[in-house]
Structure 1
Amino acid sequence: MSAQGGTRAVIAALLANLGIAVTKFVAYLLTSSSSMLAESIHSVADSGNQALLLLGGKRARRAATAQHPFGYGRERYVYAFIVAIVLFSVGGLFALYEAWHKWSEPHGITNWQWVPVTVLLVAIVLESLSFRTAIKESNLIRGRESWSRFIRRSKAPELPVVLLEDFGALVGLVFALIGVGMTLITGDGRWDAAGTAMIGLLLVTIAIVLAVETKSLLLGEGAEPAEVAAIERAVTGGPEVEGIIHMKTLYLGPEELLVAVKVAVARCETAEEVARGIDAVEERIRAAVPVARVIYVEPDIYQAQAGPSETAGQPGS
């Protein structure tokens, strides 16, 4: 669900940004507005970012190999991190440089004065449609989570990236509209430069947020508390296991969770009984948490703590 929804949102954003980038750049050529140039580069960067997300999703579907036995699911995180770098450098830093340049040499908009306002208004409509698609697809998997928590905790990077990019694009268009509008009213090009600077600061902020969240996914995140609780109930939900000694989880990709659990089994069980019990535990885990696709269950003998000087209470070897 999240992969398909993320792809639809990315494609919608890509189509919108390609059309917007062309119109913004034409408006810049006609008016020499720095806000329009910053917005043009912003849309070009966003289009490239969405292409990177689509490429990352395609490469992540490659089959596992001997060198990469757990597959390539995390490649989606790698490309999402590259997106953050592109947004920071190509989008944010370029806009800040252009703002400084325009502030140093301000000039008003004297030609085709109606063009930038028209282009910005049309861009706001197109970006709103793209943003609506991202919100619709996110709501299918967000549940009752707040938007901030969804962006921070989502294991699929595409939807949070598109949400933040579209939100940043809409706010940036408003900044550009204010800068261009005040420049047209006052004839002072520094308003245009100020709008450009606000766009740059906004993009840098969004890029930093994306980089921090994607870095956490690259380092490796475990299952959410609700998923951990469901797995624990599944492990102990039958007579095969006396208890959980310890358990670790790790997301190998947005839709693939690794579960490694050491369980306590009865001393009197035969190897055949233990094997059947492990199979039953694995089946219950997959039923409770479908993304738990790689499961390792290690049986062990666990003794209750008997005293401070005794070694009981430690798992067997």
Structure 2
Amino acid sequence: MAANSSKTVIYAALAGNAAIAVTKFVAAWFTGSSAMLSEGVHSLVDTGNQILLLYGIKQAAKPATPDHPFGYGLRLYFWAFVVAILIFGLGAGISIYQGIDKIQSPHPVESAWINYVVLAFGLVFEGSVWWVALRAFRKEKGSGSWIEAIRASKDPTIFTVLFEDSAALLGLLTAMLGIFLSQALNLPWLDGVASIVIGVILAVTAAFLAYECQSLLTGEGVRPSVRNSIRTIAASGTGVLRVNELLTMHFGPNDVLVAVSLDFSDGLRASGVEATVSALERAIKETHPEVTRVFIEAQSFEAHRRDAAITAASVAASAA
């Protein structure tokens, strides 16, 4: 997905979360609601997260240098991982702490109507931002399921905002229900239970985001359909007998490295190999614009198999 689309989603979330965080904190101060205070912390953490994602996008756009010859695209994945940690450490941790404190020292919520107004406003805004993120994510979803699309997505900014706002909507509904039940049943400690539930929602969200981001951060390849397409293109080259090995890695949502080992016909001249390599590189990049670098190695199948066996033995010895 294009960076501009990602930025639009993040800016929308940033503006709203900053405004509603202040509103929630004011409401929590007036009413003494633990659930509302947890929601304020939640929105404040989300605001900081959006700033970090924008910083990550800026860092990832830096040009390559001799020290970072493949660019800085992986920094986007790093900052997305930091966002997951913050959601867990600050959002979930503080919410659960506030809930436990309220259960141990329960007190009724004052002027609860203020909370309802703020929560209703939050539902409208968070729902709007969630819809923006959902529409952006749908563009890259394709025909697969939502879970498959999230697992296959290489742009953490979109699914991070989508999950943050999904958690925000669940948190708002939980806070509203907790405050209502604490009043209706005259059980103030239920407000604290709602705060703990909000913390659990944030913890689950953070765990899922961290899992997805670590996969990208540690060198995730292209999706199988793209890999099969690249293999087909490589195998169709003039004089190519077989594809020995195909390796891919995402350095960013639209920054893919492709390394291919090809077994060429022994009768093919050096000039023919050069022409085939140039044609294959051009074909791969034209078919898959996200591919920015293609490295093609000419190697016989037997030599490749021998080198692979040596490498595997070396890795096994190191692990022993």
TM-score by length of 1: 0.93
- Corresponding letter in the other structure for 2:58: K
- The separation in 2 between residues aligned to 1:267 and 1:207, in whole angstroms, is 54
- Which shows bigger deviation, 130-139 or 264-273? 264-273
Is 1:273 aligned with 2:278? Answer: no
**Structure 2, unpaired ranges of 5+:** 308-320
Preserved CA contact (<8 Å) 2:95 2:198: yes
Partner of 2:57: 57
Name the SS for the 2:240 alignment partner. coil
Query: Please, what is the CA RMSD of the aligned residues?
Result: 1.7
**Superposition pairs of residues 75-86 of structure 1, within 5 angstroms:** 75-86=75-86
Preserved CA contact (<8 Å) 2:175 2:194: yes
Partner of 2:208: 209
Partner of 2:167: 168
Is 1:31 aligned with 2:31? Answer: yes
Preserved CA contact (<8 Å) 1:248 1:260: yes
Name the SS for the 1:64 alignment partner. coil
Partner of 1:225: 224
Partner of 2:19: 19
**Superposition pairs of residues 75-224 of structure 1, within 5 angstroms:** 75-110=75-110, 112-224=111-223
Following superposition, which runs of at least 4 residues in structure 1 exceed 4 angstroms of deviation?
A: 311-315
Partner of 1:234: 233
Shift of 1:65: 0.6
Preserved CA contact (<8 Å) 1:84 1:211: yes
Preserved CA contact (<8 Å) 1:183 1:190: yes
Shift of 1:66: 0.6
Partner of 1:283: 282
Preserved CA contact (<8 Å) 2:112 2:179: no
- Corresponding letter in the other structure for 1:209: F
> Are the structure 2 counterparts of residues 203 and 37 from structure 1 closer, same or farther at C-alpha, using a change threshold of 3 Å?
same
Shift of 1:188: 2.1
Percent identity between matched residues is 35
- The separation in 1 between residues aligned to 2:305 and 2:16, in whole angstroms, is 62
- The separation in 1 between residues aligned to 2:306 and 2:71, in whole angstroms, is 34
- The separation in 1 between residues aligned to 2:262 and 2:233, in whole angstroms, is 12
> Are the structure 2 counterparts of residues 192 and 241 from structure 1 closer, same or farther at C-alpha, using a change threshold of 3 Å?
same
Preserved CA contact (<8 Å) 1:93 1:200: yes
Superposed CA offset, 1:14-51 (max 9, x none): 11111110111110111011011000000000000011
Preserved CA contact (<8 Å) 2:239 2:268: no
Partner of 2:313: none
- The separation in 2 between residues aligned to 1:87 and 1:171, in whole angstroms, is 15
- Which shows bigger deviation, 202-211 or 178-187? 178-187
Higher helix share: 2
- The separation in 1 between residues aligned to 2:213 and 2:235, in whole angstroms, is 34
